Amino acid sequence: MHKRQKPRTPEHRRDLAADGRALSMSHNGSRSFFSLSQLVLSAGQIKPSPALKHSKITYFEVEILDVQSKKQICIVDKVLPASTLLDVKHKFHKACPQWYPSRVGLQLERNGPFLKDSVSIQSLAVSSIITLYFTDLGQQVGWTTFFLTEYTGPLLIYLLFYIRLSTIYDQAESRKNFRHPVVHLACFCHCLHYIRHLLETLFVHKFSEGHTPLKNMIKGCAFYWGFTSWIAYYINHPRYTPPSFGHKQVSYAALAFLMCEAGNHFINVALAHQTNSGNKTCFPSPTYNPFTWLFLLVSCPNYTYEAGSWISFTVMTQTLPAGIFAFLMVIQMSLWAQKKHKVYLKRFYPEVRRKAAIIPIIF
């Protein structure tokens, strides 16, 4: 027979309750300790040792080869992903001091285009080693120096012919013959044209930090300076004959010249202050200024006004050298306008698709 268990006394019940509370407190304490441990582990070390830090920065190596012989010139190492091509050129210049950055031309392919200085290295990388081809661009000059030199020459050269130096004209013949008023007007218009160019170069135009070969500046100066000498020699010659239709021809042509000069200036100001819509640059639109209304018809009105200035100058002076120069300028302006028009079509297609490049009638 089994013995009947005695009913538990109140003292015994109290002991069991006390033991339960002790177990519960012990369990809660372990949970609290576990939570505190998890918090410490998730927070990491309070004072991590510098020796345990590991760098995760990835560097690139740029191998530079000669574009002709494909021989390796140097390797630019430890190039950061955020670096630009200009940074690589500066490091290349330190390794090869004879080639300063503006003289260095870098290409991804031997027959490919030259890469811009603003291109990031990371955008060119296929692996950790980037191969670029080097071309010596020759001696370079800045764009501001280029235009200041190109425009200062004609201004000074024309004035030397205007004062009729004894080494150029016969002084007896110069004192004998009377100067027609168009000679003085032509000098004023010619000087005004190049003074405007110089002031716009300094205060209006926004040039990139790029450079151009010195040989381009020499060719530009030879063209402008040579034609200026030819034009000035004929207009300021003691035997110069005035235009066939006299005062009317000179007056209307001079008025057209001044209007084209004003229009050219206002167009250049509008181009220098293009409006931005978000991250996109907007094509300049006509304003209340009537000289900017030409934007409705052509995409390069500055070239239209420039060509108009030289055509007006030719009519005003009625000289063959000025006519030849105006003809060549119209051709050159048309070529530049066509190139810019293609760029504008890609960037501002809806706004310029119905416009001509330089001549309003031809679409």
Same domain, 323 and 336: yes
Same domain, 116 and 166: no
Same domain, 325 and 235: no
Same domain, 231 and 156: yes
pLDDT of residue 39: 47
- Beta-carbon contacts of 24 under 8 Å, excluding residues fewer than 6 positions away, are none
Same domain, 196 and 300: no
Does residue 191 form part of some domain? Answer: yes
**Residue labelled with tokens 């050129």:** 89
The residue among 280 and 237 whose pLDDT is bigger is 237
**DSSP per-residue string spanning 204-232:** T----S-EEEHHHHHHHHHHHHHHHHHHH
Same domain, 95 and 164: no
Residue 73's domain is classified under what CATH number? Answer: 3.10.20.90
At which of 202, 220, 241 does a domain end?
241
Does residue 95 form part of some domain? Answer: yes
Q: Kindly report which listed range (145-159, 210-224, 254-268) carries the lowest average pLDDT score.
A: 210-224
Residue 174 has pLDDT above 60, yes or no: yes
Rounded mean pLDDT, 214-228:
96
129: three-class secondary structure by DSSP: strand
Does residue 204 form part of some domain? Answer: yes
Same domain, 69 and 169: no
Same domain, 228 and 273: no
Does residue 39 form part of some domain? Answer: no
The residue among 280 and 34 whose pLDDT is bigger is 280
pLDDT of residue 17: 45
Range of 206's domain? 141-241
The pair of three-digit structure tokens given for residue 21, joined into one six-digit string: 């509370």
Same domain, 354 and 289: yes
Rounded mean pLDDT, 160-180:
88
pLDDT of residue 354: 72
SS3 content of the chain, % helix, strand, coil (to 5): 60, 10, 30
pLDDT tens digit sequence for 52-73: 344 455 889 999 999 999 899 9
Provide the domain count of the chain.
Answer: 3
247 to 38, 190, 251, 319: CA distances (angstroms): 99, 19, 6, 16
Does residue 92 form part of some domain? Answer: yes
Same domain, 279 and 350: yes
The residue among 4 and 327 whose pLDDT is bigger is 327
The residue among 48 and 318 whose pLDDT is bigger is 318
Q: Considering the chain, what percentage of its residues have pLDDT values greater than 90? A: 53
Same domain, 234 and 151: yes
- What does pLDDT average to over the chain? 84
Q: How far apart are CA 61 and CA 250, in angstroms?
A: 66
Strands (E) located in the chain: 60-66, 72-79, 104-107, 129-136, 140-142, 211-213, 276-277, 280-281
pLDDT of residue 50: 46
pLDDT of residue 51: 42
pLDDT of residue 358: 87
Does residue 273 form part of some domain? Answer: yes
Helix (H) or strand (E) holding 3: none
Same domain, 343 and 273: yes
At which of 192, 209, 241 does a domain end?
241
pLDDT tens digit sequence for 86-138: 999 999 999 999 888 989 999 999 888 899 888 998 888 888 899 999 999 98
Does residue 47 form part of some domain? Answer: no
Does residue 353 form part of some domain? Answer: yes
At which of 102, 119, 138 does a domain end?
138
